[in-house]
Amino acid sequence: MQIEYTVRPEDLMASREYYARSSEVMRKSSRTETFGTASTIIAFFTLLTFILNTYIPFILGAIITMVWVFIWPLMQKNSYHRRQVALYAESRNVISLGRKVMDFEDDVLAERSELHWSKTKLPAIERIVISQNHAFFFYGTFLGFVIPRETVQKGDFDSFVSTVQERFNSLM
């Protein structure tokens, strides 16, 4: 079974952002940073409340803490996105981007392009994720194959992905 498609920078970004959102380590780190900083802010303003003997610093600290808890995760997400865009702009990404052909035979995913080829046995795949616009075959942290639905030139996206997923599920 074969499929031909083109990988664009935004497809690689979708893969990285999905992995960052779904990774328990990344989510835990984000929560720790957000609530750790919020605790520090509220502790500082509580200390000021006792030193100055007025509730104004505590109220101000509570407001700043609430803003931090709700705004910081959004700022963090935007910052992550900007850093990823900058990383992809750093090099030409000739291996990751461009026209690709993927074959699936005998439990092996073989991806090839003009400058690169790779073969990965299906048991090496950690998980398969299918979104509305992409199929991700992850075989490591931030590593995997990305197949964008809208850039498929030859082959059937749905039948290819479902065949690979069915075989993957039967191996588990």
Query: Domains in the chain and their CATH numbers?
Result: 2-9+93-171 (2.30.29.30), 15-90 (no CATH)
Q: Bridge-partner residues for 134, per DSSP?
A: 148
Tell me whether strands 108-112 and 117-121 are parallel, antiparallel or unpaired. antiparallel
Rounded to a whole number of angstroms, the distance between the first and last alpha carbons of the chain is: 21
H/E element holding 137?
Answer: strand 134-140
H/E element holding 116?
Answer: none
DSSP secondary structure string, 108-134?
EEEEE-SS-EEEEEGGG--EEEE-SSE
pLDDT digits (tens, 9 = 90+) for 132-150: 899 999 888 778 899 999 9
- Range in 20-24, 62-66, 102-106, 133-137 the model is least confident about: 20-24
pLDDT band for position 164 (cuts 50, 70, 90): very high
pLDDT band for position 91 (cuts 50, 70, 90): low
Higher pLDDT, 45 or 29: 45
